[in-house]
Amino acid sequence: MTRDLIDTAAWALIAPFLPPERGRACRPSLDNRRVLEGIVWIARTGSPWRDLPERFGKWNTVWRRFARWRDAGGLKGILEALVASGAGDGTIQMIDSTVIRAHQHSAGAKKGGVNLTT
């Protein structure tokens, strides 16, 4: 099994939170599991959507479904279910912006500038 696949136990928790796949007979829908794996791949690597590998489907399809799920609140429900079930055995991690430091030159404008308030 490769690193970027969602295991069966986690998928059993996640699947009920996603809407059913919709497609047409002439163009079937992309599998929800494959789309979610593509979303996880983007989150893990930080790559642009257009760099999504073809094994996850077209980048635009994955992005559109991500946007739909995000707007509907489905991704929040997935995260809450995973945390409540204890899935991932301590491997779920969050990034807090308080630990991100700015570069020393990003503090502001040049010192000693003209004061326009006087």
Q: Is residue 81 part of a domain?
A: yes
Within a domain: 26: no
Confidence of residue 20 (pLDDT cuts 50, 70, 90): confident
Q: What is the pLDDT of residue 76?
A: 83
Place of tokens 């295991």: 7
Cα separation, 85 vs 105, in Å, equals: 44
Alpha helices (runs of H) in 1-118, residue ranges in sequence order: 8-14, 32-45, 59-72, 74-85
Categorise residue 48: left if φ over 0, alpha if ψ from -120 to 50, beta otherwise: beta
The answer to whether residue 68 sits within a structural domain is: yes
Residue 111 lies in a domain: no
Query: Is 8 among the domain residues?
Result: no
Spatial distance between the Cα atoms of 28 and 31, rounded to a whole number of angstroms: 9
Confidence class for position 51, pLDDT limits 50, 70, 90: very high
Question: Is 19 domain-assigned?
Answer: no
Which residues form the domain of 37?
Answer: 32-92
- Report if residue 13 sits inside a domain: no
**Residue 52 burial by Cβ neighbours in a 10 Å radius (0-12, 13-18, 19+):** buried
Global pTM value: 0.65
- For 92-112, write each residue's pLDDT tens digit: 555 555 656 666 666 665 666
Q: CB of 74 within 8 A of CB of 17?
A: yes
Q: Would you say residue 44 has pLDDT above 70? A: yes
Instruction: Select from 99, 89, 88, 108 the least CA-distant residue to 10.
Output: 88
Domain count, the chain: 1
Q: Is residue 78 part of a domain?
A: yes
